Amino acid sequence: MIESKPYNRDHAVTYAKKWAYAQNPLFGSFAGIGGNCTNFVSQCLYAGSCQMNYKAVFGWYYISLEDRTASWTGVEFFYNFLLGNKGVGPYGRECRPDETALGDVIQLSREATGFYHSLLIVGYDGEDPLVAAQTDNAYNRPLSSYTFDTARYLKIEGVRFDGKPITEACFDDVLLGVSLSPTP
């Protein structure tokens, strides 16, 4: 039976702070081959949920560079997974900027190319979100310092799991770069 639990926003932000300027050895990097931003934001969401969705094609998981879903690393695929996920793993909705909280996601768009960048909210300077990102590594960078035409805001509403919820050991392992447990 699928149940729901809260998304741990503190864990996501703690992970972002530790790894914004470095590469966790558990994950490959896509810098130079399309960018690492959504891979990094997925890692942060995993740290805040400790629940992947191992459904082929339409799930959200990372086992290795060769064994992962497009939603783990692709901006639009990530968006589609979060908003359409009815199974295990994190889920969310598009929201207004004033509905966001720490650990939520912002995606940026340019008219000519569409949505191209994923960012994790790690703080606020007044109404200006402060974000963490990779490719152009940043932590506590004001959203207002980016050049973009449109932004969409993704509210992470919770995490679904099937069976026992994952323990704190999962967060500790991924934060320290020790293990991606649990695996399927």
Tell me what pLDDT residue 168 has. Answer: 75
The pLDDT tens digits for 61-109 are: 999 989 999 999 999 999 999 999 999 999 999 999 999 999 999 999 9
Residue type, 165: P
Cβ atoms of 7 and 158 closer than 8 Å = yes
Q: Using the CB atoms, write b or e for 23-35: b if 16+ within 10 Å.
A: bbebbbebbeeeb
Question: What would the mean pLDDT of 155-164 be, rounded to a whole number?
Answer: 91
Tell me what pLDDT residue 165 has. Answer: 62
Tell me what pLDDT residue 30 has. Answer: 83
Q: What is the pTM of this model?
A: 0.95
Tell me what pLDDT residue 72 has. Answer: 97
pLDDT exceeds 80 at position 33: no
Q: Residue 145 to residues 97, 117, 140: CA-CA distances in angstroms?
A: 16, 14, 11
Q: Which residues contact 133 (CB under 8 A, 6 or more apart)?
A: 20, 37, 40, 41, 117, 118, 119, 120, 141
pLDDT exceeds 60 at position 183: no
